[in-house]
Homo-oligomer: A and B are copies of this chain.
Amino acid sequence: MPAISERAQLVPPSPIRKLVPYANAAKARGKKVLHLNIGQPDLPTPPEFWEAIYSANLKVLDYTESGGIPAFREAYARFYTEIYQIPLEPRHFLTTTGGSEALLFAFLTLFSPGDEVIVIEPTYANYIGLGWATGISLRPVQSYIEEDFALPDPAVLEEAITPRTRGILLCNPSNPTGKLYSEEEVRKIADICSRHGLYLLSDESYRDYCYDGVRFFSALEVEGADDFVVVVDTLSKRYSVCGARVGALISRNTDIIEAALKWAQARLAPPTLGQIGGIALLSLPPSYYEYVRETFQKRRDTLLEGLRTIPGVTVATVQGAFYLMPQLPISDSDAFAQWLLERFDVEGTTVMVAPGTGFFSEPERGKSLIRIAYVLDIPYLEQAVEVLRAALNIYTREQVPIL
């Protein structure tokens, strides 16, 4: 019997999804599980999405063009130009099956097997899987909770550059930390890329989630960087349509878009219904984004304040995405997350979180961290804080003999 490929053996399972079987078992036993583990917004999908699909009244659900429905790309360009005030044209967009596929196409197009890409850790777990799939080495540079996950010093970033380095991959705002990089920080990274001939691959999937009145500064806004800036975008989080699987690879360097189109052709087309509904979503008024931002800012405030009242818990002050990555008084976040599902509840309710280990290339760095997605309404977040408080109270005492 032939063996599984080495890359398939070595690629780690998703830290966010690997606990699903334990959650299913807990629910089967009648436990209520508050899902704080996955970046799936709970807000209703705007009805315009469904209306567009119903009114299309398709007879045959056929392929679209590999690069996406022209009207979808036009709506995308108009959206960026009008809502984000970033002038773009349809030819700057390649429609993808979610942000995940935009990342895949970017890795395949910008980097060669054996190349290195710098990432700031803690980093989005799936970048690691993507590196394995495409033969790219991720070279981590650490950011620290004590510094609110600020951009590492440019000198430290530059130290990580080797002759094989081809790009810096930034997740802004950051999944998993919630760190929103400032205009100054984005410019610093672009400057490094410019001086060293690197691509700046900016994953801006969470850009609509910025709090405290801070304006998001996109890598696409850096002057003189059109050749080397590539942005990953998705409708998933912006419109609560994670299951639609539509996003885009964006660059003013149309050589990149045209080269990436060849990978897009090899997989035929992105989902048709997501694009049809997506055209309507991309035409929503500015008030929609305001409503989303306000809703999540209140949640962040609730969670941040609540977590800070739990003894031994440290939380960074962050202003973006819908994640927090607190440090807990624990030494094995995987064991703790599993224990929450298997052995703990407060009146029948427990919480599901993502262990911090999966967000580092050296998992040990995440052993006292967890990622919390605040994708539930405030009363549930308050309940989650109380469940965590009670859990840590018991867990830290129970674990003492083992430490």
Decide: B113 and A243 in contact? CB cutoff 8 A: no
Q: How far is the CB of A190 from chain B (nearest CB, A)?
A: 13
Q: Does A13 contact B (CB under 8 A)?
A: yes
- Interface flags for A254-273 (1: CB within 8 Å of B; 0: not) read 01100111110111111111
Known: A45-B59, A61-B244, A63-B40. A266 touches B5 (CB 8 A): no
- Interface flags for A23-64 (1: CB within 8 Å of B; 0: not) read 000000000000000101111110001100110001111111
A: residues with CB less than 8 A from B are 1-2, 4-9, 11-14, 16-18, 20, 38, 40-45, 49-50, 53-54, 58-66, 97-98, 100-101, 104, 108-113, 115, 126, 129-130, 133-135, 166-167, 197-199, 227-228, 240-245, 253, 255-256, 259-263, 265-274
How far apart sit A45 and B17, CA to CA, in the bound complex (Å)?
Answer: 33
Residues in B neighbouring A18, C-beta threshold 8 A: 265
Residues in B neighbouring A16, C-beta threshold 8 A: 265
How far apart sit A269 and B268, CA to CA, in the bound complex (Å)?
Answer: 18
Residue of B nearest to A200 (CB): B2
Q: How far is the CB of A284 from chain B (nearest CB, A)?
A: 15
Oligomeric state, in copies: 2
Residues in B neighbouring A100, C-beta threshold 8 A: 266-268
Question: Which of B104, B198, B262 has a CB less than 8 Å from the CB of A11?
Answer: B262
Interchain Cβ contacts under 8 Å between A and B, 12 examples: A2-B199, A8-B110, A8-B263, A11-B262, A40-B63, A45-B60, A61-B241, A61-B244, A98-B268, A100-B267, A242-B269, A273-B273
Q: How far is the CB of A217 from chain B (nearest CB, A)?
A: 22
Residues in B neighbouring A42, C-beta threshold 8 A: 60
Decide: B270 and A245 in contact? CB cutoff 8 A: yes
Q: How far is the CB of A168 from chain B (nearest CB, A)?
A: 11
Decide: B245 and A271 in contact? CB cutoff 8 A: yes
How far apart sit A43 and B197, CA to CA, in the bound complex (Å)?
Answer: 51
Besides the known contacts A44-B59, A271-B274, 11 further A-B residue pairs in the complex with CB atoms under 8 A apart:
A1-B253, A4-B255, A5-B111, A7-B112, A11-B263, A12-B262, A17-B66, A113-B113, A242-B269, A244-B271, A245-B245
Residue of B nearest to A130 (CB): B266
Decide: A112 and B6 in contact? CB cutoff 8 A: yes
Residues in B neighbouring A166, C-beta threshold 8 A: 2
Residues in B neighbouring A54, C-beta threshold 8 A: 54
How far apart sit A130 and B197, CA to CA, in the bound complex (Å)?
Answer: 28
- A-B interface, 7 closest residue pairs, ranked by CB to CB distance from nearest: A243-B272, A129-B266, A14-B265, A100-B267, A1-B227, A8-B259, A8-B109
Question: Which of B2, B101, B109, B269 has a CB less than 8 Å from the CB of A197?
Answer: B2
